[in-house]
């Protein structure tokens, strides 16, 4: 490699896994400086996203696991930096290889599982939008990136309701800026969050939720987004579909926003444990353009996957003709877009129950200058201590 031109070396390194790159930092000072540099980190991320490489699925149960998307052979347990014995950790969102985490003690962190570096986030108090809304109904989060401000942001939405129940409600919203390391309150969210199953879905630099204007069964569902750049709310136009009898949800596939229409005998007010007849999946090819919605598949119960309450897409597999899906937060499913057939996919070591999040391996840090704000993981601390002890012995 020493005889190769520098730009060729850079190109080759930019296609490698993070595990290899961390090892190659010790080859020489120029290589270390290159791999640690902001330009290289962003080039490596761009290559991974554009080629669909270095992707994995993070599984959350009591512990966190990593499944390589190319092989889908086994689930490897991750070293969760804010784990608490006997309790699970929520994965609030994934962006550029960073995961936002929340544990049972309400401790928050942003963590890169590939480099094992993380930052703890100071919690912030709950502020009711109105004194007449004293009760917290539920809390949701979302995590993403603001490309204009070059800032990673965590959104926390707390829905409050009054003493008379859900007839009166409002949602207080705060946004954490990783760049400033501060929380700030933005305009209250004036919509009712219909489902509490998931967190904000990231697409086109915005976080999306299914909402309604009132918490009533006969109110039509809407999709609203929090723009991470402007920190304003906007409605996303829906496709023309038979939506009155379905449970709606949003997901993302290949970077595009998807709408899931889940039809079942119990109608739109069925809980997420009710049996589904089928799920129509729509994709917004051009974000914000109603006419660009396309129904790309319909998933039905079959001998290959059995019955289900819900199913949602995780990622395209390498062929591009198959989609990995999550069924009931219990099984992986592979859906073939050409044949319309689906089958369960067993993965060694995967827990029985699971929530899933797509994640790309990356070298991304929370700031471009280096280690500021990051904490070393336990394994890194041991290595650092060992190196310091060895250095002292050599000096003697």
pLDDT tens per residue across span 325-383: 999 999 999 999 999 999 999 999 999 889 999 999 999 987 533 333 344 444 445 55
Report the pLDDT value the prediction gives residue 377, as an integer from 0 to 100. Answer: 46
Residue 382 lies in a domain: no
Does 395 score more than 60 pLDDT? no
Q: Label each residue of 127-167 as H, E or C.
A: CCCCCCCCEEEEEEEEEEEECCCCEEEEEEEEEEEECCEEE
| Owning domain of residue 256 | 240-346
The answer to whether position 312 is within a domain reads yes
Rounded Cα distance between 180 and 75, Å, is 35
β-sheet bridge partners, residue 163: none
Which pLDDT value is given to residue 218?
54
Closest CA to 129 of 200, 190, 212, 214: 190
Residue pLDDT, tens place only, 225-236: 999 999 999 999
Question: Is the pLDDT assigned to residue 179 strictly greater than 60?
Answer: yes
Residue 281 in domain: yes
Mean pLDDT of the chain: 86
Residue 259 lies in a domain: yes
Please give the pLDDT value at position 200: 94
Tell me if 326 is assigned to some domain: yes
CB 47, CB 39: distance < 8 Å: no
Q: Is residue 302 part of a domain?
A: yes
Per residue in 284-305, pLDDT tens?
Answer: 999 999 999 999 999 999 999 9
Q: H helices within the chain, ranges in order? A: 6-13, 18-24, 29-36, 38-51, 378-395
Residue 76: predicted pLDDT: 96
Lowest mean pLDDT among 21-25, 204-208, 274-278, 350-354: 274-278
What is the model's pTM? 0.88
Q: Considering its fold, how many domains does the chain have in total?
A: 1
Q: With pLDDT > 70 as the criterion, what percentage of the chain qualifies?
A: 82
| Residue 331 domain flag | yes
- pLDDT > 90: what percent of the chain? 66
- pLDDT tens by residue, 127-140: 665 665 556 678 89
Q: How many C-alpha atoms does 212 have within 13 Å on its Cβ side?
A: 18
| 332 found inside a domain | yes
Backbone angles phi, psi at 104, to 5 degrees: -65, -20
């Amino acid at each position: 490699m020493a005889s190769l031109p520098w730009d060729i070396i850079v190109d080759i390194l930019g296609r490698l896994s993070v595990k290899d790159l961390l090892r190659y930092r010790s080859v020489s000072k120029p290589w270390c400086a290159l791999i640690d540099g902001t330009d290289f980190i962003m080039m490596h991320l761009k290559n991974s996203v554009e080629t669909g490489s270095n992707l994995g699925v993070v599984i959350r149960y009591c512990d966190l696991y990593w499944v390589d998307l190319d092989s889908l052979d086994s689930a490897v347990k991750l070293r969760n930096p804010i784990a608490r014995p006997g309790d699970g950790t929520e994965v609030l969102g994934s962006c550029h290889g960073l995961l936002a985490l929340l544990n049972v003690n309400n401790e928050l962190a942003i963590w890169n599982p590939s480099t094992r570096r993380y930052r703890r986030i100071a919690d912030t108090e709950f502020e009711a939008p109105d004194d007449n809304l004293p009760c917290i109904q539920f809390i949701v989060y979302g995590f993403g990136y603001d490309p204009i401000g070059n800032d990673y942001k965590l959104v926390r939405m707390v829905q409050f309701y009054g003493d008379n129940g859900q007839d009166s409600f409002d949602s207080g919203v705060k946004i954490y800026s990783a760049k400033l390391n501060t929380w700030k309150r933005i305009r209250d969210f004036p919509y009712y969050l219909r489902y509490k199953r998931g967190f904000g879905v990231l697409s086109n630099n915005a976080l999306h939720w299914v909402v309604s204007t009132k918490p009533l069964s006969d109110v039509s569902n809407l999709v609203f987004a929090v723009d991470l750049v402007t920190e304003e709310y906007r409605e996303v136009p829906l496709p023309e579909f038979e939506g009155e009898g379905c449970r709606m949800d949003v997901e993302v596939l290949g970077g595009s926003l998807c709408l899931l229409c889940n039809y079942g005998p119990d109608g739109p007010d069925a809980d997420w444990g009710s049996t589904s007849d089928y799920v129509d999946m729509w994709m917004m090819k051009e974000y914000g353009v109603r006419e660009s919605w396309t129904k790309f598949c319909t998933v039905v119960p079959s001998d290959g996957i059995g019955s289900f309450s819900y199913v949602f897409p995780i990622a395209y597999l390498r062929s591009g003709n198959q989609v990995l899906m999550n069924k009931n937060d219990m099984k992986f499913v592979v859906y073939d877009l050409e044949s319309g057939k689906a089958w369960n996919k067993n993965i060694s070591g995967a827990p029985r129950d699971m929530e899933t999040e797509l994640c790309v391996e990356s070298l991304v840090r929370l700031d471009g200058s280096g280690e500021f704000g990051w904490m070393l993981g336990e394994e890194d601390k041991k290595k650092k201590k060992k190196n310091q002890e060895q250095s002292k012995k050599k000096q003697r």
